Amino acid sequence: MEKKTFCLRFSVTAAFFLLTVFCGQALTAQFSADMTERYGDMTKSAKIYVKDSIYCIDLVEDGEQIIIIVDQDAKKTIVIPVSTKEYRELAIDDMMSIMNDPFQGYKYSAEMGEERNAGTETVNGFECDKFVVSMMDNDVMSQWVSKKLGFPIKIIAHGPPDKVVELTNIKEGPVDEARFKIPEGFTKWIDPETLPVEPPEWAKGIASAPVMKPPFERDMSAGEIIRIKVEPGKSLKIKGISKTDAKGTARVIPFKDGRPLKKDSWYNNFAQKGVTCDRRHETSVEADEFVVYVYEGEVKVIGKWQEMHEKTVATGDEIRLTLQGWDNIKTHLVNVSDSESVAIVNYFKNGKPVSEDEIGPVKWRTITLKESNEVDSKAMSPKGDEIVFKVEKGKMLIKIGQFDSFEF
- AA identity, residue 297: G
Torsion over CA of 21, 25, 27 and 31, rounded to 10 degrees?
Answer: -60
CA atoms of 72 and 143, how far apart (whole Å): 20
Q: What is the domain class of 311-403 according to CATH? A: mainly beta
Q: Residue 276's pLDDT band (boundaries 50, 70, 90)?
A: low
Average pLDDT, the chain: 87
β-pairing verdict for 54-61 and 395-403: unpaired
Using the 8-state DSSP alphabet, how is residue 180 labeled? G
β-pairing verdict for 352-353 and 341-349: antiparallel
Q: Residue 311's pLDDT band (boundaries 50, 70, 90)?
A: very high
CA atoms of 19 and 201, how far apart (whole Å): 50
| Residue 36 near residue 45 (C-beta atoms within 8 A) | yes
Q: Residue 29's pLDDT band (boundaries 50, 70, 90)?
A: confident
Q: Residue 136's pLDDT band (boundaries 50, 70, 90)?
A: confident
| Residue 172 near residue 30 (C-beta atoms within 8 A) | yes
Q: Is 221 helix (H, G, I), strand (E, B) or coil?
A: strand
> Who contacts 119 (Cβ-Cβ below 8 Å, separation ≥6)?
129, 130
Which ranges in the chain are annotated with CATH 2.60.120.680? 311-403
The closest alpha carbon to 118, from 154, 83, 73, 160, belongs to 154
Percent of the chain whose predicted confidence (pLDDT) is above 70: 91
Task: Provide φ and ψ at 283, rounded to 5°.
Answer: -95, 175
Q: Is 344 helix (H, G, I), strand (E, B) or coil?
A: strand
Which ranges in the chain are annotated with CATH 2.60.120.380? 203-307
Q: What is the domain class of 9-191 according to CATH? A: mainly beta
Q: What is the mean pLDDT of residues 336-361?
A: 93
Residues in the chain: 408
Determine how many CB atoms are found less than 10 A away from the CB of residue 289: 19
Which range, 65-74, 183-192, 282-291, has the best average confidence (pLDDT)?
A: 282-291
Q: Is the pLDDT of residue 27 over 60?
A: no
Which ranges in the chain are annotated with CATH 2.50.20.10? 9-191
Using the 8-state DSSP alphabet, how is residue 382 labeled? -
CA atoms of 101 and 68, how far apart (whole Å): 7
β-pairing verdict for 86-91 and 187-188: parallel
E runs forming strands in 147-270: 152-157, 163-172, 187-188, 216-221, 225-229, 234-242, 249-256, 259-260
Task: Provide φ and ψ at 356, rounded to 5°.
Answer: -65, -25
Position 274 scores a pLDDT of 66
CA atoms of 398 and 312, how far apart (whole Å): 6
Position 255 scores a pLDDT of 96
Using the 8-state DSSP alphabet, how is residue 191 labeled? -
Q: What is the domain class of 203-307 according to CATH? A: mainly beta
Using the 8-state DSSP alphabet, how is residue 222 labeled? T
Q: What is the mean pLDDT of residues 340-356?
A: 95
CA atoms of 73 and 52, how far apart (whole Å): 10
> How confident is the model over 354-376, as pLDDT tens digits?
998 888 888 889 999 988 999 99
Q: Residue 196's pLDDT band (boundaries 50, 70, 90)?
A: confident
> How confident is the model over 57-113, as pLDDT tens digits?
999 988 899 999 999 888 899 999 999 999 998 888 887 777 767 777 777 777 778
| C-alpha distances in Å from residue 162, one per residue of 34, 41, 117 | 20, 11, 20
User: Is cis: bond before 160, omega within 30 of 0?
Assistant: yes
Q: Is 215 helix (H, G, I), strand (E, B) or coil?
A: coil
The closest alpha carbon to 116, from 93, 142, 97, belongs to 142
Total-model pTM: 0.68
